[in-house]
Structure 1
Amino acid sequence: MTTEIPLIELRELEKYYTKRVWPQKGQVLRAVDGVSVSIRKGETLGLVGESGCGKSTLGQITARLLEPTGGGLFYKGEDIAGSGSRNQQDLRRRIQYVFQDPFTSLNPRFKIGRLLEEPLKLNRLGKAAERWSKVSDMLESIGLDESYRNRYAHELSGGQRQRIGIARALMLNPEFLVLDEPVSALDVSVQAQVLNLLKDLQQELSLTYLFISHDLNVVHYMSDRVAVMYLGKIVEIGEMEEVYAHPLHPYTQALVSSIPAERAAQKRERIVLQGDLPDPSAIPSGCAFRTRCMHAHDRCFSETPTLADVREGHAVSCHLWSEESYSVNEIKEVRTASL
């Protein structure tokens, strides 16, 4: 029996920054700290967490916009961290990035037609007539008519600009898209339109997504699986419905409890986290979440938990799920409360 190779795989990926300004000169900021995760072809992996937890940094490394400090980044089983220039150009076509703010990511001096044609010109793909034909086809596929090719980005609404950002990322027929907070700057009604567009395009073009957001409700709608990130580490990962229904990590439980319930039977007790996210350059010893966790105990102060399977396909990084931490009765009480 053969195991399918993931389209994208991260192995102990790290991204560290060293502060060079006094008074914190020499202090290391661990933006991404030993992340291991795989993304199967055709699926959407949601990546959720608070601002400053390292989500965007991880996305930029995955799209080869940033170089990792350590660890491995694999595309179809091939290590692409530090790839040569020839291989890098091919990877640029296959892996694309959609930015959070479409206005600042679109050149204001170019008309929309040129913005969409530019990737084809840079990669010397097709003659002028073929490129313009593809621009028209792409505009149609994102729900805009051909007249938009003669407009500038500032003449469009936020939702239209984000559609253009998505279209530009698709011009080279990629397999994998990193979507970095693609709807956070849009009105709620426009968010739904863009999310539905992304789902339709995924089906039509057989795309694979890494969907980054701080909004677990949006991630729940878009994703097949979800990874929860806290201070540079993945603290929980599993199938979306499983994590949504049975969150195991106290941080995930707090995130899920903040989602408005559609029915009275779905209501959970609201968990309000105390304190702010710690400074990533001064991460607490042991479990990084212990300063905000109501279940913190002695082991949390001295030992860093590791990500381990609790159920098949559902892993969590928390001492609550280790038999060594509590008595059997105490573990049962904590686990029952989370379910």
Structure 2
Amino acid sequence: MRSDDTILELRNIRKSYTLRRWPAPAETLRAVDGVSLSVRRGETLGVVGESGCGKSTVGQIASLMLPATAGSLTFKGVTLPAGRVTNRGRLRTQIQYVFQDPYSSLNPRFTIGRLLEDPLAIQRAGGRRERRQQVELMLERIGLDPSFAKRYPHELSGGQRQRIGIARALMLEPEFLVLDEPVSALDVSVQAQILNLLKELQQELALTYLFISHDLNVVHYVSDRVAVMYLGRIVELADVHALYAEPLHPYTQALVASIPAEPGSGPREAPVVEGELPDARRLPEGCAFRTRCPYAHERCGRTPELIEIRPGRQVACHLWTAFQ
């Protein structure tokens, strides 16, 4: 349900691909299968799940980089139906994307100054002298000396390159950032620096984040709320502290239990999840998690809906929805 503080809302988003491998018949891969969520202004909504669960696809759709097969996206009251990624005008400058690998997302032939100035030049924002001043100010804002404008991407460390990736996303003064695994390629100590920088920028610039990661510790540190995805669907959505203290969906319980326990604390109890992740081209009928869930029941042959069982707490599991 959209409220006044909602900046972005996805309604029943679906994304599928048709795979053709002649002479075999065509197959359909459902990357995202009916995702609905809203992001509140100024918050960080974490999206977590195993590789292949569809979280990056959701991020690409939310950032208008990828058209949805079905569903709609509403950003600041403007609704775009499925298939629309063109004619988006000013919306595109207000939503920016930070990639997982900063090195491959930066043109190695351009200086850092050129890379940061290009978004302003494309939008014809100010003269060349003014744009260079903005580049220098942005470099200082992300903790780098203005002299970095003369360097090339290969001359920077991984953490410095990711700072440049963040700076480039901020050059057009967006309100909403999609952060796709922004620290997964960095050392732990550098991860902390980048995460702290993101928090500082969020406060300073009144930013809203959709933070995608497979690392539950990172998501716990940066997020206000967390959406857990499994094979294209959201299985649980809750406040970050409530979700980590009391995970309700069996899959979420297994994920949280996999986090290394703090010294002196006992082991976390969790259901035993066995078996391999199902092929996204041949998903089981009903609940996609049923083939690995120790609590699977006959009723799991029906797809559970994501419903609110407590204020701000949504779960898609028959263990909970059967009693609503």
Write out aligned runs for 1:71-82 (5 A). 71-81=71-81
**What do the CA deviations read for 1:274-326 (whole angstroms, capped 9, x no partner)?**
112111111111110011111111111x211110112111010001113469x
Structure 1 residue matching 2:104: 3-state secondary structure: helix
Identity of aligned residues (%): 64
Q: Provide the TM-score with structure 1 as the length reference.
A: 0.91
Write out aligned runs for 1:163-242 (5 A). 163-242=163-242
Write out aligned runs for 1:41-52 (5 A). 41-52=41-52
Letter in 1 for 2:6: P
Q: Measure the CA separation in 1 of the matches of 2:138 and 2:217.
A: 29
Q: Which residue of 2 aligns with 1:18?
A: 18
Q: Which residue of 1 aligns with 2:317?
A: 318
Residue 264 of structure 1 deviates from its aligned partner by 3.6
Given the superposition, is the C-alpha separation of residues 160 and 113 from structure 1 closer, same or farther in structure 2, using an over 3 Å criterion? same
Whether the aligned pair in 1 keeps the contact of 2:228 and 2:234 (CA below 8 Å) is yes
Q: Which residue of 1 aligns with 2:307?
A: 308
Structure 1: 5+ residue stretches without partners: 326-339
Structure 2: 5+ residue stretches without partners: none
Write out aligned runs for 1:256-335 (5 A). 256-262=256-262, 264-265=264-265, 267-269=267-269, 272-300=272-300, 302-323=301-322
Whether the aligned pair in 2 keeps the contact of 1:228 and 1:236 (CA below 8 Å) is yes
Residue 269 of structure 1 deviates from its aligned partner by 2.7
Letter in 2 for 1:36: S
The RMSD of aligned alpha carbons is 1.7
Given the superposition, is the C-alpha separation of residues 23 and 48 from structure 1 closer, same or farther in structure 2, using an over 3 Å criterion? farther
Whether the aligned pair in 2 keeps the contact of 1:249 and 1:317 (CA below 8 Å) is yes
**What do the CA deviations read for 1:17-63 (whole angstroms, capped 9, x no partner)?**
01121365321111011100000000000000000000111100000
Q: Measure the CA separation in 1 of the matches of 2:195 and 2:32.
A: 27
Whether the aligned pair in 2 keeps the contact of 1:254 and 1:272 (CA below 8 Å) is yes
Q: Which residue of 1 aligns with 2:39?
A: 39
Structure 2 residue matching 1:105: 3-state secondary structure: coil
Structure 2 residue matching 1:292: 3-state secondary structure: coil
Letter in 2 for 1:142: I
Q: Measure the CA separation in 1 of the matches of 2:41 and 2:221.
A: 19
Whether the aligned pair in 2 keeps the contact of 1:5 and 1:76 (CA below 8 Å) is no
Residue 76 of structure 1 deviates from its aligned partner by 1.5
Question: Which structure has the highest helix share of the two?
Answer: 1
Q: Provide the TM-score with structure 2 as the length reference.
A: 0.95
Q: Measure the CA separation in 1 of the matches of 2:120 and 2:269.
A: 52
Residue 85 of structure 1 deviates from its aligned partner by 5.0
Whether the aligned pair in 1 keeps the contact of 2:13 and 2:68 (CA below 8 Å) is yes
Is 1:136 aligned to 2:136, yes or no? yes
Q: Measure the CA separation in 1 of the matches of 2:137 and 2:186.
A: 25
Whether the aligned pair in 2 keeps the contact of 1:5 and 1:77 (CA below 8 Å) is no
Q: Structure 1 stretch 63-72 or stretch 263-272: which is displaced more? A: 263-272
Q: Measure the CA separation in 1 of the matches of 2:85 and 2:218.
A: 37
Q: Measure the CA separation in 2 of the matches of 1:320 and 1:171.
A: 47
Letter in 1 for 2:151: R
**What do the CA deviations read for 1:171-219 (whole angstroms, capped 9, x no partner)?**
0000000000000000001000000000000000000000000011110
Is 1:118 aligned to 2:83, yes or no? no
